[in-house]
Structure 1
Amino acid sequence: MADCDVAIVGAGPAGLLLACVLAQHGTSVRVLERGQGRDDRSRAIGIHPPGLAALRAAGIEDAFRAEALTLSGGTVTSRGLVLAELDFAAGSEVLTLPQARTHALLQGRLAELAPDAVRTGVTVHEVIPEGGAARALVARDDREGEICARVVVVADGVHSGIRDRLRVPWHRKPGRADYTMLDVVDAPPDDRARLHLEPDGVVESFPLPGRGRRWVIRERAPAQRTAASFARTVLARTGFDIGDTGDAEPQLFRAGQHSAGRLVHGAVVLLGDAAHEISPIGGQGMNLAWIAACRLAVALTERSDRDAALSAYERVSLRAAAVAQRRARFNMAMGAPMARVPRSSRDAAIRLLARGASGRRMLGAMTMSGL
């Protein structure tokens, strides 16, 4: 007998949102999370229109909007010259909120819907498909056991051990770069995202609620920076003084791109970063995971032909990931360090693309439309 309808491995944004949507449909869920402490890092901050629709499906849109900052648009500059001014239309806004708060809102919502759904301190060693169900072999407090479910969803991140044990291919995709980010707490009021396409590499900045601002710089090579060296680099590239960094520490990360060879393995399904990795800048990975989670929730509540529904989930999600990865690869290429001649051609192309219908398409790509 199954312990629950759906067991979800990983209590990150993807696993929690899926659990909320399923619980609202009366599906019994259990979320198995290895960690026990709270992660206060801000990490992903951008919520695009499809991501906001996912939060609406989870029943927390209003709570999210009450804390988030709504951006008015984005500005692209190069050597102090404005290349593009893109304004978000009503219904197509991008919002920002530190991931720790988004995570807390999802946890709170799931606690309302299914108070006993989340089990922390649980390590899932292996997931075994068995006919029309699956078994998760788990350990908690040095005790081993298993949990049976109609479906086990694997949402344990980019370095998923379960994906590896299922021998699912993990294909590297084009698009790779190193970045460092730093959050400044007290920044001048501004509700626009700003991209500085500079000769030594892009500098991006995104406003946060409460007069905060996230700065991201592209590195020529991986380097562990201090807050002071980070601020000096921003100033040298853009002429902007980011102000008092307090005790904030820069975080180095690599934007890589991968995709699983398949997402459905019998009654085991991959979701989120365990299924595909894209550049995380702007919250793209989290939003893509939420889009897929809503699609998966529909498949898992399908009563007539679940296998066909899961096959459709796999096909559409892999296609959406491929589109998102192509867009991310283009964005990374546009922000790479460039010599004068290719940089001039790039700047002219951006000015042209920002006009009229092509500008609307550019804005749609920036806000993850069509995924």
Structure 2
Amino acid sequence: MTDVLIIGAGPVGLFMAALLLQDGVDVQILEQRSAPEQHSRAIGIHPPALAALAGTGVADDLVAEGIPIRRGVALADGKCLAHMSFAGVSDRFPFILSLPQRRTEALLERRVRELDDGALHRGVRLTRLSDDGARVTVEAVSGCGPLRYTAPLVIAADGVRSTVRALQGVASRAKEYPDSYLMGDFADHTGFGPDAALFLAGAGIVESFPLPGQLRRWVVRLGADDTTGDDARWLMRCVRERTGLDIDAGTNSMLSRFGVRTRLARRMVTGRVAMIGDAAHEVSPIGGQGMNLGWLDAAALAPIVSAAVRGQDVAVALNTFERTRRRAAARAARQAEINMALGRPLADGLLAVRNRAIGGVAAVPAVNALIARRFTMH
């Protein structure tokens, strides 16, 4: 028995646990994975999320390990079309922080263990969930056999394939996109330093972001005919053709191909169960908003949960939470659509028009500043 049961120990579930534990709420976290994820995965932490993370005392540690991206540049045919500074988006965090998700999770898990070393349970797979209106009962299995937990409240942070969402029968609205991408992490010999770089090529955009350890991530938008683009050498050749830059395929440390889908659950709160993060809303990885959305969900939900545990009536607050966070997810999905559209392949004539338009818009300081705020989730 516990005050709150959290399903999922990814970055969102761990952050939610830290928020509640430091507020005196008894929390148990169930995670299906037996060990932390070791791939770099999501890397971008936006200023509003950093401000929320600061509330658990981990922001300074994240910044100490990460690379602050303070500027982005857009290039075409070897020429700089535009640059965007993030200096005005936040007083405390005027940058997007680049840090592999495995390190973000490790620092959040360390904070959770500082607060309660027995809160996290790995290798536990959820099998059944029932809500009788007063408490939620969760049945699960682990290497030690069947388990049973009860709590007044359950928070699902168990990702895009959410078991909780499926067990609750919560419908969602999903949309598939034709876009697909290949990304990989390589040693950085570009000279871009801490800048992000976007290469606006006719065959499709190439995005490049710095990582700690003198590494750089490359993300290539695949064309309809790029059916064999699934290894480091292919990515190296594609980067060279579209940007004129050479990367060393032998230094590749991560490679992943992904498609794009958006999903928005019809409800984020059902009875005594709330869903946050990718369990409630999935957006395109382009723009790096998904993980950040989940953290902002948790920051909005945590004080409501604490109040509920102390016996306060939170029905109105939960309705407001659900309405505002679903609206935020829909806004993020629209921004992701814009990001993807700007990076799709174009014929030479349309490419020139698009690139001139981007350069012209970026040259207007007020518009440039507005776009910087939108890009950083303000």
Q: Same fold by TM (over 0.5)?
A: yes
Listed one character per residue, the Cα deviations across residues 41-74 of structure 1 (whole Å, up to 9, x for unaligned) are 0001111101111210121111111111111200
> Paired residue for 1:61?
59
Determine if the alignment matches structure 1 residue 219 to structure 2 residue 222.
yes
Q: Which SS does the other structure have where 2:3 is aligned? A: strand
> Paired residue for 2:76?
78
Determine if the alignment matches structure 1 residue 38 to structure 2 residue 36.
yes
1:260 corresponds to which letter in structure 2? A
Report the RMSD for the aligned CA atoms in angstroms.
Answer: 1.6
The more displaced of 226-235 and 281-290 is 281-290
Listed one character per residue, the Cα deviations across residues 187-235 of structure 1 (whole Å, up to 9, x for unaligned) are 3451100011110001000001121100000111454522111100000
Closer/same/farther in 2, CA of residues 232 and 107 from structure 1, 3 Å limit: same
Residue of 86, 95, 98 corresponding to 1:96: 98
CA shift at 1:340, angstroms? 2.2
Paired with 1:139 and 1:306, the residues of 2 have a C-alpha distance of 32
Q: Which SS does the other structure have where 1:159 is aligned? A: coil
2:117 corresponds to which letter in structure 1? P
> Paired residue for 1:26?
24
Give yes or no for contact 2:154–2:273 (8 Å, CA) kept in 1. yes
Determine if the alignment matches structure 1 residue 344 to structure 2 residue 352.
yes
Paired with 1:202 and 1:247, the residues of 2 have a C-alpha distance of 20
Paired with 1:123 and 1:315, the residues of 2 have a C-alpha distance of 30
1:229 corresponds to which letter in structure 2? W
Give yes or no for contact 1:180–1:252 (8 Å, CA) kept in 2. yes
1:305 corresponds to which letter in structure 2? D
CA shift at 1:184, angstroms? 0.8
Q: Alignment identity in percent?
A: 40
Determine if the alignment matches structure 1 residue 366 to structure 2 residue 375.
yes
Paired with 2:223 and 2:124, the residues of 1 have a C-alpha distance of 40
Determine if the alignment matches structure 1 residue 327 to structure 2 residue 335.
yes
Residue of 235, 238, 247 corresponding to 1:233: 238
1:329 corresponds to which letter in structure 2? E
Paired with 2:83 and 2:62, the residues of 1 have a C-alpha distance of 27
Paired with 2:105 and 2:371, the residues of 1 have a C-alpha distance of 29
Q: Which SS does the other structure have where 1:341 is aligned? A: helix
Determine if the alignment matches structure 1 residue 124 to structure 2 residue 132.
no
> Paired residue for 1:148?
150
TM alignment of 1:273-292, pairs within 5 A: 273-292=278-297
1:43 corresponds to which letter in structure 2? R
> Paired residue for 1:165?
167
- Could you list the structure 1 runs, at least 4 aligned residues long, displaced by more than 6 angstroms after superposition: none
Paired with 1:79 and 1:150, the residues of 2 have a C-alpha distance of 59
Listed one character per residue, the Cα deviations across residues 284-322 of structure 1 (whole Å, up to 9, x for unaligned) are 111111111111112212253222222111111100000
CA shift at 1:247, angstroms? 4.9
1:219 corresponds to which letter in structure 2? L
Task: Give the gaps of 5 or more residues in structure 2.
Answer: none
Paired with 2:218 and 2:252, the residues of 1 have a C-alpha distance of 15
TM-score by length of 1: 0.94
1:343 corresponds to which letter in structure 2? L
Paired with 1:249 and 1:86, the residues of 2 have a C-alpha distance of 28
Task: Give the gaps of 5 or more residues in structure 1.
Answer: none
CA shift at 1:249, angstroms? 4.9
CA shift at 1:7, angstroms? 0.5
Closer/same/farther in 2, CA of residues 118 and 259 from structure 1, 3 Å limit: same
> Paired residue for 1:115?
117
Paired with 1:17 and 1:258, the residues of 2 have a C-alpha distance of 22
Closer/same/farther in 2, CA of residues 326 and 225 from structure 1, 3 Å limit: same
1:358 corresponds to which letter in structure 2? V
Determine if the alignment matches structure 1 residue 270 to structure 2 residue 268.
no
Give yes or no for contact 2:185–2:252 (8 Å, CA) kept in 1. no
Paired with 1:50 and 1:44, the residues of 2 have a C-alpha distance of 16
Closer/same/farther in 2, CA of residues 327 and 161 from structure 1, 3 Å limit: same
Q: Which SS does the other structure have where 2:307 is aligned? A: coil
2:10 corresponds to which letter in structure 1? G
Give yes or no for contact 1:197–1:335 (8 Å, CA) kept in 2. yes
Residue of 195, 199, 205 corresponding to 2:198: 195
1:357 corresponds to which letter in structure 2? A
Paired with 2:274 and 2:36, the residues of 1 have a C-alpha distance of 26
1:361 corresponds to which letter in structure 2? L
Paired with 2:82 and 2:304, the residues of 1 have a C-alpha distance of 40
Give yes or no for contact 2:67–2:98 (8 Å, CA) kept in 1. yes
CA shift at 1:186, angstroms? 4.2
2:368 corresponds to which letter in structure 1? G
Give yes or no for contact 1:14–1:272 (8 Å, CA) kept in 2. yes
CA shift at 1:243, angstroms? 2.9
